[in-house]
Structure 1
Amino acid sequence: MGGAAALVLLTAGCAAQVQQSRPVAVEKPAEDAPVSAAPSSPVTVPPAQLGLSVASIVDGRSVMLSDGTKAEVSGLAQPGPCWADAAGSFAKAMLLNQQVRYDRAAGVLSLADGTDYALLALGNGAGRTAGAPSPAQKEAEGAAQRVPMGLWGAPCAGKDALETSTPPPPPPPAPPTTTTKPPAPPKPKPVFYATCDDARRAGAAPLYWGQPGYRVELDPNRNGIACESRYR
């Protein structure tokens, strides 16, 4: 009887020891489970340089800035001999001594109000596209071609240089006559409007760049159109 009781106690003790030594499952993340990472901060792109002004005009697509560097406008072709002077005059009227913003990486020159100078020049016929123009540049160039305006009009008709040909020999001198030549017609007087109200009363508004009476002082936003409609 005592031996049987000892056997029962021994068996129970072994069972308890086995139960206590049984391993307990511990959860741990899988090795291939994705690890959450803190969101990365966006890359900061340096803005175009501000606080610059145009010190001088090189040509219709290049200017010298107040920091002594040269800014060349991307997307504009080198002005041709036929319209180079007109392109330079337009750049001088719109940019000289004006505050600008120049993105050196993209070659984008903007006026203080954000106007893209390349689009402004193309839309007024003071430049033509080069390379791979953007859709906006193509649209601006096409608008000037349809008028036609600037280099797309006379005398250049969209060409960089006028065609030259050998002139024919001069005719023999005519015999002298006693016919009196008519006097030359008087030269037209220069047009000047002190204010846009004067231009509107004269029926001349709006005034486009290159037209008689256009002045930069009457074109505050410098888009090539003076005395625009108040309701535009």
Structure 2
Amino acid sequence: MGGVVLVLLTAGCATQVQQSRPVAVEKPAEDTPVASSATVPPAQLDIKVTSIVDGRAVMLSDGSKAEVSGLAQPGPCWAEAAGSFAKAMLLNQQVRYDRTTGALSLADGTDYALLALGNGAGRTAGTPTPAQKEAEGAAQRVPMGLWGAPCVGKETLETSTPPPPPPPPTTTTTKPKTTPTTPKPVFYATCDDVRRAGKAPLFWGQPGYRVELDANRDGIACDPRYGFR
């Protein structure tokens, strides 16, 4: 009877010892790097516009000339306006220029050809893309830029024969000299000022338009569709 009890006690002690034996646990390495999401570097801008040749050609900071594909050579009637638009949008700005396709885009990715066509500062040439046709058509429907007065879409102004000069007066009269009055330039500091004046939105070429009021540089300043700055 005692032997059996002894065996049972021995077995119980063995079981208790086995259960209290420590189990090795592998410690995680402290130097293990923690996975993190990859950070995409910002797009690198290629080059800068140093001067404007005309509405479709510019000089770049590497000394080369860039001609924008899809735009026609500016006609005499609207060449000055096209050059002014290019100067306002591109001069001293960083751009991307694809020498293979002739595509010129602003730092934010805006296609300059579409921007010029949509504001009437250029017309299509060659085989325009559907997007270029749509932008040109939008300017024609307003009409704005070269599609409005005085060019109405023509390369040169139509000249008519001036009327004959009036006959000389029978008596000599001295007319007082009049000093021509120069209209005061229109300036709006903010889009709130434009809104209070009832002039919003301002299109490129209108009095008071400034690039600083045109947040997305689409030729429309203080556009109510995108809020006021």
TM-score band, normalised by the shorter chain? 0.7 to 0.9
Any conservation in 2 of the 1:50–1:102 contact (CA below 8 Å)? no
In 1, Cα distance between equivalents of 2:225 and 2:147: 29
Is 2:190 the partner of 1:195? Answer: yes
Following superposition, the deviation at residue 62 of structure 1 comes to 0.2
2:78 to 77, 83, 91: 83
2:149 equivalent among 142, 147, 154: 154
**Pick aligned residue for 1:100 from 95, 109, 127:** 95
The alignment partner of 1:128 has SS state of coil
Does residue 126 of the first structure (1) align with residue 116 of the second (2)?
no
> Which AA in structure 2 matches 1:113?
D
- Superposed, 1:53-64 pairs within 5 Å as 53-64=48-59
Bigger radius of gyration, 1 or 2?
1
Aligned counterparts of 1:177 and 1:150: Cα–Cα separation in 2? 45
Q: What's the offset of the Cα at 1:230?
A: 5.8
What's the offset of the Cα at 1:179? 11
- Contact preservation (8 Å) 2:46, 2:97: no
Report the Cα distance in structure 2 between the residues aligned to 1:95 and 1:137, rounded to whole angstroms.
Answer: 19
Q: Give the AA of the match of 1:54.
A: V
User: Could you say which residue in structure 1 is the equivalent of 2:27?
Assistant: none
Match of residue 62, structure 2, among 59, 67, 74: 67
* TM-score, structure 2 normalization: 0.73
Distance 1:56 1:98 in 2: 10
| SS of equivalent to 1:63 | strand
The residue number in structure 1 matching 2:28 is none
Match of 1:163, SS?
Answer: coil
Residue 77 of structure 1 aligns to a residue in which SS?
coil
1:136 pairs with one of 131, 134, 144: 131
| Residues 96 and 231 of structure 1: CA distance in aligned 2, closer, same or farther (over 3 Å) | closer
Mark the runs of 5 or more structure 2 residues left unpaired by the alignment.
1-43
Task: Give, in angstroms, the shift of residue 226 of structure 1.
Answer: 1.1
Secondary structure of 2:224's counterpart equals coil
Choose the corresponding residue for 1:109, options 104, 110, 115.
Answer: 104
Q: In 1, Cα distance between the equivalents of 2:180 and 2:154?
A: 32
Q: Indicate how the Cα distance of structure 1 residues 152 and 176 shifts in structure 2: closer, same or farther if over 3 A, else same.
A: farther
Give aligned pairs, total: 184
Please report how far the alpha carbon of residue 184 of structure 1 lies from its aligned counterpart in structure 2 after TM superposition: 8.2
The answer as to 2:167 corresponding to 1:172 is yes
Per-residue Cα deviation, 1:17-36 (whole angstroms, up to 9, x for no partner): xxxxxxxxxxxxxxxxxxxx
Distance 1:65 1:180, change over 3 A: closer
Contact 2:49 2:59 in 1 (8 A): yes
The one-letter code of the counterpart of 1:86 is A
Match of residue 13 from structure 1:
none
For residues 142 and 176 of structure 1, the distance between their equivalents in structure 2, rounded to whole angstroms, comes to 57
Aligned residues with identical type, % of pairs: 83
CA–CA separation in structure 2 for the residues paired with 1:91 and 1:71: 13
Give the aligned residue type for 1:57.
I
Q: What is the SS of the residue equivalent to 1:101? A: strand
* Alignment-derived partner of residue 208 in structure 1: 203
Structure 1: which 5+ residue stretches go unaligned? 1-48
Contact 2:45 / 2:107 at 8 angstroms: preserved in 1? no
SS of match in other structure, 1:110 = strand
1:149 deviation in Å? 0.3
